[in-house]
């Protein structure tokens, strides 16, 4: 028997400090991953995702762990509801995700549409109806598909990271049914939500290997409630064990998108989510700050890369020496952090506060607690 759950929403608990700090480093890993890929792309015009194992893992390991964070946090909500015998308002939960993911993502989309307009000379190269449909596909988190906009084919270079949000939404819509299956009872709403998840899976032709990462986060949510595991997950020996598991992830494949790597990362994340701060690194103020603005770093760095290297510097970008390119990336990283902080203050935080101010109303989407 597992012990009573530890509330994952209490940000003062060690394991949530760890997760928030981890998010900051994951966002930085994706930033660095794309900075290197952009360098290669500027030199030879080829987007070489897996040319280097270390570079590939900077991106793929970070994305895999981001998926585990989602699986952990939201499965923890299910476990907490079961322990407290309280219902989950699934409609409000899904609406909350719209308020959390939507405002900044749609802002990034508007930036990308502005870039597309600039590149195409502010001319209509397609009928307005087609352009509107293409833009809508991106605004809907690319669930209907990824495409060019007004014959601008560089959307992948500007906001290609959006593909991961499609998997996030697949998990959110799967969660009600997963919760019902865990308590051996299925409700109408969970079936409807599952149909939504199936539609996302069908429309986008998603790959099932990524779903294992969410399962790893869910497993970690159970382990984090086991006192014996939590006791062993903190301290210096556990920190070294976590680093060993991270090394095994890299050794297991060219990217983290394979069962062996995901298994290693599940062990790594289980240790972190149970309170390990990796020699206190994840609990440091700067790590916590990066964690808070990690969504902005994740979404906004690619548009800034495109604006600087393609629109402003142009051919000069390929002529930069390695040292000069690194200096530019260092300055651009500072800009990304500053802009992400402003985005948190001006977009993300107000949207969350507005959502929380909405009075929760009785809903037919509430499910009885397990």
Residue 203 forms part of a structural domain:
yes
Average pLDDT over residues 193-215: 84
Residue 255 forms part of a structural domain:
no
The b/e string for 338-351 (b: 16+ C-beta within 10 A; e otherwise) is ebbbebbeebbeeb
Per the CB < 8 A criterion, the answer to whether 65 and 321 are in contact is no
How far is 137 from 230, CA to CA, in rounded Å? 43
Please report the pLDDT score of residue 263 as a whole number.
98
Please report the pLDDT score of residue 359 as a whole number.
62
Please report the pLDDT score of residue 183 as a whole number.
77
Per the CB < 8 A criterion, the answer to whether 232 and 238 are in contact is yes
C-alpha distances out from residue 201 to 142, 166, 186, 349, Å? 12, 9, 21, 30
Residue 332 forms part of a structural domain:
yes
Residue 76 forms part of a structural domain:
no
Least confident segment among 81-95, 173-187, 286-300, 318-332: 173-187
Please report the pLDDT score of residue 11 as a whole number.
39
Residue 308 forms part of a structural domain:
yes
Average pLDDT over residues 335-347: 98
Please report the pLDDT score of residue 358 as a whole number.
84
Q: Could you report how far apart the first and last alpha carbons of the chain are, in Å?
A: 16
Banded model confidence at residue 361, pLDDT cuts 50, 70, 90: low
Mean pLDDT of the chain: 90
| C-alpha radius of gyration, the chain, whole number | 21
Kindly report, residue by residue over 216-260, the tens digit of the pLDDT: 999 999 999 999 999 999 999 999 999 999 999 999 999 999 999
| Residues in contact with 125: Cβ distance below 8 Å, sequence separation at least 6, in sequence order | 150, 151
Helix orientation angle between 14-44 and 285-292, rounded to the nearest 10 degrees: 70
Residue 1 forms part of a structural domain:
no
Least confident segment among 16-30, 35-49, 106-120, 315-329: 35-49
Least confident segment among 120-129, 203-212, 346-355: 203-212
Q: How many domains does the chain fold into?
A: 1
Please report the pLDDT score of residue 198 as a whole number.
81
Residue 169 forms part of a structural domain:
yes
Per the CB < 8 A criterion, the answer to whether 269 and 68 are in contact is yes
Residue 73 forms part of a structural domain:
no
Please report the pLDDT score of residue 309 as a whole number.
97
More confident residue, 85 or 9: 85
Q: Write out the residue range of the structural domain in which residue 287 sits.
A: 18-37+45-62+88-214+280-367
Has residue 14 got a pLDDT over 50? no
């Amino acid at each position: 028997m597992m012990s009573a759950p530890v509330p994952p929403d209490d940000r003062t608990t060690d394991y949530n400090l760890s997760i928030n700090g981890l998010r900051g480093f994951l966002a930085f890993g994706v930033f660095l991953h794309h900075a290197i890929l952009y360098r290669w792309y500027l030199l030879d015009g080829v987007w070489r995702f897996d040319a280097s194992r270390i570079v590939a893992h900077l991106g793929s390991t970070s994305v895999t762990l981001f998926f585990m964070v989602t699986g952990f946090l939201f499965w923890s909500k299910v476990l907490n509801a079961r322990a407290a015998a309280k219902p989950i308002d699934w409609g409000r939960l899904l609406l909350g995700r719209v308020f959390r993911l939507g405002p900044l993502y749609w802002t990034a989309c508007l930036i990308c549409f502005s870039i597309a307009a600039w590149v195409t000379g502010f001319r209509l190269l397609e009928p307005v109806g087609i352009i509107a449909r293409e833009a809508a596909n991106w605004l809907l988190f690319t669930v209907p598909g990824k495409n060019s906009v007004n014959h601008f084919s560089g959307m992948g270079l500007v906001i290609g990271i959006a593909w991961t949000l499609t998997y996030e939404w697949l998990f959110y819509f799967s969660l009600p049914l997963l919760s019902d299956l865990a308590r051996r009872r299925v409700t109408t709403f969970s079936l409807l939500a599952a149909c939504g998840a199936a539609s996302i899976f069908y429309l986008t032709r998603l790959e099932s290997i990524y779903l294992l990462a969410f399962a790893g986060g869910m497993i970690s949510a159970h382990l984090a409630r086991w006192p014996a595991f939590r006791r062993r997950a903190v301290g210096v020996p556990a920190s070294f064990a976590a680093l060993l598991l991270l090394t095994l992830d890299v050794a297991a494949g060219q990217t983290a998108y394979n069962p062996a790597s995901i298994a290693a990362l599940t062990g790594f994340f289980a240790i972190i989510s149970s309170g390990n701060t990796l020699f206190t690194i994840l609990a440091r103020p700067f790590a916590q700050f990066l964690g808070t603005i990690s969504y902005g770093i994740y979404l906004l760095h690619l548009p800034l890369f495109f604006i600087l290297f393609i629109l402003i510097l142009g051919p000069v970008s390929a002529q930069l020496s390695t040292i000069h390119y690194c200096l530019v990336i260092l300055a651009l990283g500072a800009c990304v952090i500053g802009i992400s902080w402003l985005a948190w203050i001006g977009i993300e935080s107000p949207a969350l506060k507005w959502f929380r101010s909405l009075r929760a109303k009785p809903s037919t989407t509430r499910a009885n607690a397990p």
